[in-house]
């Protein structure tokens, strides 16, 4: 029996002790028991680690055991861990075993080639698996990117649609805006025409620029009244010379007498002398400016116009007309427009003011010139102060005349008109140099200054209401 037959010849099932040498999961690595009549042969699987000392796929290891009936000897052929062959010398191997060793070497070479192929196949398979995984990742990423691109395209299409809609809305709104702009221009033109017509009608109603009376507030009029009172007090202090009765002219004496019949005694009374001179100066501007004894402003017809104005207001205020408020409003507006015309056409007459000052200075000389000598400085100062007083009175007179409110300067208090005895009236009077308030029964010695009475408003309304803008200053017993 040759060597191949000996190897391929199937032996009986191995015993328990031999099973581990015969059984192998790999058919290539199955161990065939060879019975040459003298010894059994057993193959054992060896790992490649045991062959070459490195990790990796397993390689078979063949182990032979030969037994003899007479004696037992064992030959182990094992691949060295360093990869070199563990050759058995001729002396250790019997001649009949040489063909078996050649076959084993050939078998081991075949197994090494197969292991190399298996390793190559495993590497190729692993590379294929890696490529498949990478392809799957790439395909997944491509699929995700495709989905995202599709979503972005959908969003882009939606935005483009919204943009088109907004563009259409914008064009529509722009066209509507232009139409509304043209309509607004036409409306503004019509409104401008209406306002121009209204202004023209209002100017015609108010008399136009020539007859348009400026609105003057109560505070402005009161301030001008206080300024005039202050200037009069200063000049009265300057007129400190007690004159002889025979030195006072008839004109000045009549003025003093209009204030009080007891003027001679008061001229000698130091306590009330200054108050009497203030009353004299108020009477001076009352006659020279407010009553328009001289055409100081408003032209030559200003005096007649003031007389007509006073008569009209007296008639309307005293009468019991059913439409009196309306009539008063029309009359006040017309008279204010007439006064505005006089003020604009004729300014202050400086020549008339100078003549008035010169005339009044002559009447006042007994009150500020000493008996023996003439004081030029006092004369000049009195002249300047009297000029300031008259100019302030002219400004106040313009305000009164051009106001739509009915402003009147009065000396007599309404409650005392029916009696020859004048008593103190708190509503219209202020007591001169007296700390305590006089009672209504207190007799008035003389009136130093008139009071300023107002009916209606500067807008030409509410003529049923009245108030005192400036109280009269009186001297009480």
Are residue 212 and residue 343 in the same domain, yes or no? yes
Q: What is the pLDDT of residue 165?
A: 92
Q: What is the pLDDT of residue 185?
A: 94
Burial code (b: 16+ CB inside 10 Å, e: under 16) for 377-400 equals ebeeebbebbeebbbbbbebbbbb
Q: What is the pLDDT of residue 96?
A: 60
Q: What is the pLDDT of residue 392?
A: 95
pLDDT exceeds cutoff 70 at 105:
yes
**Residue 242: other Cβ atoms inside 10 A:** 11
Nearest to 232 by CA among 399, 472, 431, 448: 448
Are residue 405 and residue 281 in the same domain, yes or no? yes
Tell me if residue 36 falls in helix, strand or coil.
Answer: coil
Q: Which of 89, 115, 141 is the last residue of a domain?
A: 115
Q: What is the pLDDT of residue 376?
A: 66
Q: Which of 81, 115, 149 is the last residue of a domain?
A: 115
| pLDDT band, very low/low/confident/very high, at 386 (cuts 50, 70, 90) | very high
- CB 314, CB 321: distance < 8 Å: no
Residue 154: inside a domain, yes or no? Answer: no
Residue 297: inside a domain, yes or no? Answer: yes
Residue 164: inside a domain, yes or no? Answer: no
Are residue 240 and residue 355 in the same domain, yes or no? yes
Residue 394: inside a domain, yes or no? Answer: yes
Region 410-419 average pLDDT:
76
Residue 121: inside a domain, yes or no? Answer: no
Range of the domain at 233: 208-476
Residue 62: inside a domain, yes or no? Answer: yes
Are residue 342 and residue 460 in the same domain, yes or no? yes
Please count the structural domains in the chain. 2
Residue 465: inside a domain, yes or no? Answer: yes
Q: What is the pLDDT of residue 210?
A: 63
Are residue 233 and residue 356 in the same domain, yes or no? yes
Q: pLDDT tens-digit profile of 151-195?
A: 888 889 999 999 999 999 999 999 999 999 999 999 999 999 999
Q: What is the pLDDT of residue 207?
A: 61
Give me the chain's average pLDDT, please: 77
Are residue 106 and residue 219 in the same domain, yes or no? no
Residue 320: inside a domain, yes or no? Answer: yes
pLDDT exceeds cutoff 80 at 67:
no
Tell me if residue 166 falls in helix, strand or coil.
Answer: helix
| pLDDT band, very low/low/confident/very high, at 276 (cuts 50, 70, 90) | very high
pTM above 0.75, yes or no: no
pLDDT exceeds cutoff 80 at 197:
yes
Q: In what order do the strands lie in the sheet with 429-431?
A: 429-431, 472-476, 444-447
| pLDDT band, very low/low/confident/very high, at 232 (cuts 50, 70, 90) | very high
Are residue 214 and residue 75 in the same domain, yes or no? no
Q: What is the pLDDT of residue 44?
A: 41
pLDDT exceeds cutoff 90 at 353:
yes
- CB 34, CB 23: distance < 8 Å: no
Q: Which of 91, 115, 139 is the last residue of a domain?
A: 115
Q: pLDDT tens-digit profile of 18-64?
A: 434 344 444 434 433 334 444 444 434 333 334 344 444 443 444 44
pLDDT exceeds cutoff 60 at 108:
yes
What DSSP state is assigned to residue 70? S
Tell me the percentage of the chain whose pLDDT exceeds 90: 29
């Amino acid at each position: 029996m040759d060597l191949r037959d000996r190897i391929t010849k199937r032996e009986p099932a191995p015993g328990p002790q031999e099973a581990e040498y015969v059984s192998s999961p790999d058919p290539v690595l199955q161990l065939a028991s060879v019975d040459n009549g003298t010894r059994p042969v057993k193959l054992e699987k060896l790992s490649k680690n045991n062959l070459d000392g490195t990790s990796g796929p397993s390689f078979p290891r063949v182990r032979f055991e030969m037994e003899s009936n007479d004696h037992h000897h064992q030959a182990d052929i094992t691949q060295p861990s360093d990869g070199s062959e563990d050759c058995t010398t001729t002396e250790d191997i019997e001649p009949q075993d040489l063909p078996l060793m050649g076959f084993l070497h050939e078998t081991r070479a075949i197994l090494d080639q197969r292991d190399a192929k298996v390793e190559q196949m495993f590497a190729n398979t692993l590379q294929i698996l890696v490529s498949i995984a990478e392809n799957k990742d790439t395909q997944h990423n491509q699929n995700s990117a495709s989905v995202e691109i599709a979503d972005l395209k959908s969003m882009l299409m939606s935005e483009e649609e919204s943009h088109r809609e907004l563009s259409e809305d914008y064009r529509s709104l722009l066209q509507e805006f232009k139409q509304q702009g043209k309509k607004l221009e036409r409306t503004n033109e019509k409104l401008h025409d209406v306002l121009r017509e209204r202004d023209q009608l209002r100017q015609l109603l108010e008399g136009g620029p020539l007859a348009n009376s400026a609105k003057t507030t109560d505070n402005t009029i009161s301030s001008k009244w206080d300024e005039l009172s202050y200037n009069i007090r200063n000049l009265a202090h300057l007129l400190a010379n007690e004159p002889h009765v025979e030195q006072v002219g008839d004109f000045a004496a009549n003025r003093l007498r209009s204030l009080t019949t007891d003027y001679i005694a008061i001229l000698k009374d130091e306590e009330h002398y200054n108050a009497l001179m203030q009353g004299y100066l108020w009477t001076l501007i009352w006659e020279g400016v407010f009553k328009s004894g001289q055409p100081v402003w408003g032209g030559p017809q200003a005096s007649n116009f003031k007389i007509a104005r006073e008569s009209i207001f007296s008639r309307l205020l005293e009468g019991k007309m059913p439409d009196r408020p309306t009539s008063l409003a029309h009359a006040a507006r017309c008279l204010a427009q007439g006064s505005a015309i006089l003020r604009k056409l004729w300014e202050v007459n400086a020549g008339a003011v100078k003549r008035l000052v010169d005339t009044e200075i002559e009447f006042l000389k007994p009150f500020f010139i000493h008996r023996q000598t003439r004081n030029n400085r006092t004369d000049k100062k009195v002249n300047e102060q009297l000029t300031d007083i008259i100019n302030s009175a002219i400004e106040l007179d313009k305000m009164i005349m051009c106001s739509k409110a009915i402003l009147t300067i009065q000396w007599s208090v309404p409650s005392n008109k029916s009696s020859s005895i004048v008593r103190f009236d708190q509503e219209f009077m202020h007591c001169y140099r007296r700390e305590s308030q006089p009672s209504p029964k207190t007799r008035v010695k003389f009136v130093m200054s008139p009071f300023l009475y107002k009916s209606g408003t500067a807008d030409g309304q509410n003529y049923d209401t009245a108030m005192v803008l400036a109280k009269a200053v009186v001297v009480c017993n």
